[in-house]
């Protein structure tokens, strides 16, 4: 049969027991100390009282007169009884220098020797002692009776030790009552404090709290997503390793206790973290990342802070951009296949009608037109990734009724771009600029998008060689009042689709800023907008200076 093992006490219960024992020990120790101290003080007070009474009796003229009479006891005994009654002492004994009593509370003891020491008094000194006499142990004082310079008698006044103990016991009873009240009050206070502690610790014991702390620390370091906890004043209460990495906070930097506004984050992201309302799956850009932000207030009545989770979707966003491009290429190929089928049917029909020469001329003209477009793009931009992108975007634009041309000044040879400028970022920059330009130009009169891609060996200001990507359109252009806001995440002049809008130019500025380049927007010669991105071609350019031009450097809203 297994005996039931009691469950460990909660932390609050352990503290309550410890505090109760501590209060009991303190009160008991204080009571014992007070009892001993009060007893000692009571004995000293009794000695002083006995000394005062003895000296008063010894200095009385009537006592000296009675000592000179043949029968001193006749007048001294009633006097001593009166003094005992009036002065709250237990006895007053008057005796001759040899110690023979003239007075005593028990008349039968008159004439018998005094029980105690008298030698110091016979030398003229008043002294006190504790001695056991006929009345039991007592604290007594003995003093001489002087008649001039001659000692004619002795006076002893005393208080019984039993009487002193009764006084101390009365004080001890009151002390124990106060101690019991203090113990009860301390127990109640301890219970209230520990009840509150029990609520805060959810009744867990120290071992459980220690395990929870270990799990808490392990989870913080293991979770790759960013976790940020803010207090009621929007100060950082906790941040894990993932949060530091996603927000660009150095591992050695102590940010706990600092306000979110002091972390140097982009303004829109800071605003989302400071907002009182919850945020759900909001996309925000930092200098080099695309983050999905969720905020939730801490429950508990009043605003106690919020919990923020951060997910890095930079790679996902890039892949989505590439997927959109591939989808556009697919649509363009489908459209071209449809057009090619129409042209093929035309050629077949001409042959069936016996007009072979016209069929050859028609097919040759279509082939020369397609080859001319390819030759134009490849001759201007031989870098394979950008050339493929331009060919695909040209087909897309033609499908939407927009003419996309590569300017004659474009010149970008293969192998010129450094490894620090990855093709993915070039696709992000040029692809988003072309998509926005096609959207802006579509629906206008003779819609056109002009793309320029070239390098400058020595850019103005001594910045060294740069890659210039310029996209202009024939659309309505950009309002000068919106020249700064156009690069912010969420800004758009078009209706929002299912996936949201206003992220393309923000991603462009993020990519440009990541490589230390600059991004600007001006009015095009044809009346639309002209976006120009300049990227340094130095090998160490990646991660350099912030974006120059409209908007906040290095990040998007």
DSSP string, 362-376: HHHHHHHHHHHHHHH
Alpha-carbon distance of 279 to 302, in angstroms, equals 19
Residue 466: band (very low, low, confident or very high) from pLDDT cuts 50, 70, 90? confident
Please identify which residue in the block is written with the tokens 């609050």.
12
Helix 206-222, helix 11-58: angle, nearest 10: 130
137 vs 552, residue with greater confidence: 137
Question: Across residues 476-501, what is the average pLDDT?
Answer: 55
pLDDT exceeds cutoff 70 at 47: yes
Residue 445: band (very low, low, confident or very high) from pLDDT cuts 50, 70, 90? confident
Residue 287: band (very low, low, confident or very high) from pLDDT cuts 50, 70, 90? low
Question: Across residues 390-404, what is the average pLDDT?
Answer: 79
Nearest to 503 by CA among 346, 335, 317: 317
Residue 548: band (very low, low, confident or very high) from pLDDT cuts 50, 70, 90? very low
Helix 161-201, helix 11-58: angle, nearest 10: 160
pLDDT exceeds cutoff 70 at 297: yes
95 touches 114 (CB < 8 A): yes
Residue 541: band (very low, low, confident or very high) from pLDDT cuts 50, 70, 90? very low
Residue 154: predicted pLDDT: 92
Nearest to 459 by CA among 339, 548, 399, 387: 548
47 touches 128 (CB < 8 A): yes
Q: Residue 167 corresponds to which tokens in the numbers above?
A: 């006084």
| 3-state class (DSSP) for residue 450 | strand
Most confident listed range (70-74, 207-211, 504-508)? 70-74
pLDDT tens string 236-268: 887 877 777 777 777 777 778 788 887 778 777
pLDDT tens string 356-383: 777 777 777 666 555 555 656 666 676 7
Report the alpha-carbon angle 251-257-258, nearest 5: 75
Residue 552: predicted pLDDT: 32
Q: Residue 15 corresponds to which tokens in the numbers above?
A: 């503290």
Residue 144: predicted pLDDT: 92
449 touches 438 (CB < 8 A): yes
CA 173 to chain centre: 52
β-bridge partners, 520: 532
Most confident listed range (87-96, 269-278, 363-372, 515-524)? 87-96
Q: Which of 86-100, 179-193, 207-221, 428-442 has the lowest mean pLDDT?
A: 207-221
Percent of the chain topping pLDDT 70: 72
| 3-state class (DSSP) for residue 300 | coil
Most confident listed range (27-31, 226-230, 282-286)? 226-230
Nearest to 206 by CA among 382, 399, 59, 12: 12
Question: Across residues 164-183, what is the average pLDDT?
Answer: 72
| 3-state class (DSSP) for residue 418 | coil
- Mean pLDDT taken over the chain: 75
pLDDT exceeds cutoff 70 at 319: no
pLDDT tens string 132-143: 877 788 888 999
pLDDT exceeds cutoff 60 at 420: yes
Residue 486: predicted pLDDT: 61
Q: Residue 547 corresponds to which tokens in the numbers above?
A: 């974006």
Residue 242: predicted pLDDT: 78
pLDDT exceeds cutoff 70 at 547: no
pLDDT tens string 213-231: 777 676 667 677 787 878 8
314 vs 104, residue with greater confidence: 104
472 vs 514, residue with greater confidence: 472
Residue 389: predicted pLDDT: 77
225 vs 498, residue with greater confidence: 225
86 vs 422, residue with greater confidence: 86
Q: Residue 187 corresponds to which tokens in the numbers above?
A: 């127990």
CA 62 to chain centre: 88
pLDDT tens string 333-352: 676 666 667 767 777 787 87
336 Cβ neighbours under 8 A, 6+ residues apart: 395
pLDDT exceeds cutoff 50 at 496: no
207 vs 294, residue with greater confidence: 294
111 vs 222, residue with greater confidence: 111
Instruction: Say what the pTM is.
Output: 0.46
pLDDT exceeds cutoff 50 at 499: no
Residue 454: band (very low, low, confident or very high) from pLDDT cuts 50, 70, 90? confident
Question: Across residues 151-167, what is the average pLDDT?
Answer: 81
Q: Which of 119-133, 186-200, 333-347 has the lowest mean pLDDT?
A: 333-347
235 vs 360, residue with greater confidence: 235
Question: Across residues 474-494, what is the average pLDDT?
Answer: 62
């Amino acid at each position: 049969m297994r005996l039931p093992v009691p469950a460990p006490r909660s932390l609050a219960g352990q503290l309550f027991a410890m505090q109760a024992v501590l209060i009991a020990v303190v009160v008991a120790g204080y009571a014992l100390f007070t009892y001993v101290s009060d007893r000692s003080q009571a004995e000293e007070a009794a000695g002083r009282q006995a000394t005062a009474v003895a000296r008063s009796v010894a200095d009385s003229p009537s006592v000296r007169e009675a000592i000179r009479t043949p029968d001193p006891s006749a007048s001294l005994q009633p006097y001593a009884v009166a003094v005992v009654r009036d002065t709250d002492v237990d006895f007053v004994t008057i005796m001759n220098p040899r110690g023979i009593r003239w007075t005593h509370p028990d008349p039968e003891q008159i004439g018998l020797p005094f029980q105690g020491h008298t030698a110091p008094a016979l030398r003229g000194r008043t002294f006190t002692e504790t001695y056991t006499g006929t009345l039991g142990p007592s604290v007594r004082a003995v003093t001489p009776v002087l008649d001039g310079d001659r000692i004619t008698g002795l006076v002893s006044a005393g208080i019984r030790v039993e009487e002193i103990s009764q006084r101390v016991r009365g004080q001890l009873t009151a002390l124990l009552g106060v101690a019991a009240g203090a113990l009860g009050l301390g127990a109640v206070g301890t219970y209230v404090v520990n009840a509150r502690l029990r609520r805060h610790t959810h009744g867990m014991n120290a071992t459980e709290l220690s395990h929870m702390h270990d799990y808490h620390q392990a989870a913080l370091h293991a979770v790759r997503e960013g976790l940020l906890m803010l207090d009621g004043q929007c100060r950082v209460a906790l941040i894990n390793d993932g949060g530091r990495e996603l927000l660009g906070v150095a591992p050695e930097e102590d940010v706990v206790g600092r306000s979110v506004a002091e972390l140097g984050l982009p303004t829109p992201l800071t605003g989302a973290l400071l907002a009182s309302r919850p945020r759900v799956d909001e996309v925000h850009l930092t200098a080099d990342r695309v983050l999905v932000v969720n905020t939730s207030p801490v429950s508990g009545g009043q605003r106690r802070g919020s919990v923020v989770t951060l997910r890095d979707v930079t790679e996902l966003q890039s892949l989505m951009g590439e997927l959109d491009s591939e989808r556009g290429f697919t649509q363009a190929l489908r459209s071209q296949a449809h057009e090619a089928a129409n042209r093929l049917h035309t050629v077949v029909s001409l042959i069936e009608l016996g007009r072979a020469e016209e069929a050859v001329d028609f097919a040759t003209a279509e082939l020369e037109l397609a080859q001319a477009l390819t030759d134009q793009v490849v001759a201007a931009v031989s870098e394979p990734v950008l050339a493929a992108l331009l060919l695909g975007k040209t087909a897309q634009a033609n499908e939407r009724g927009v003419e996309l041309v590569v300017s004659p000044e474009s010149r970008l040879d293969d192998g010129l771009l450094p490894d620090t400028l990855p093709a993915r970022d070039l696709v992000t920059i040029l692809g988003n600029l072309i998509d926005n330009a096609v959207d802006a130009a579509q629906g206008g009169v003779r819609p056109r998008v002009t793309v320029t891609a070239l390098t400058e060996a020595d850019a103005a200001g001594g910045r060294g060689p740069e890659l210039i990507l310029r996209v202009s359109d024939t659309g309505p252009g950009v309002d000068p009042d919106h020249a700064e806001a156009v690069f912010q995440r969420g800004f758009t002049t078009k209706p929002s689709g299912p996936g949201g809008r206003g992220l393309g130019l923000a991603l462009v500025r993020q990519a440009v800023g990541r490589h230390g380049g600059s991004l600007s927007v001006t009015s095009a010669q044809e009346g639309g907008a002209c976006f120009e991105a300049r990227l340094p071609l130095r090998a160490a350019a990646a991660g350099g200076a912030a974006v120059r031009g409209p908007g906040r450097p290095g990040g998007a809203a």
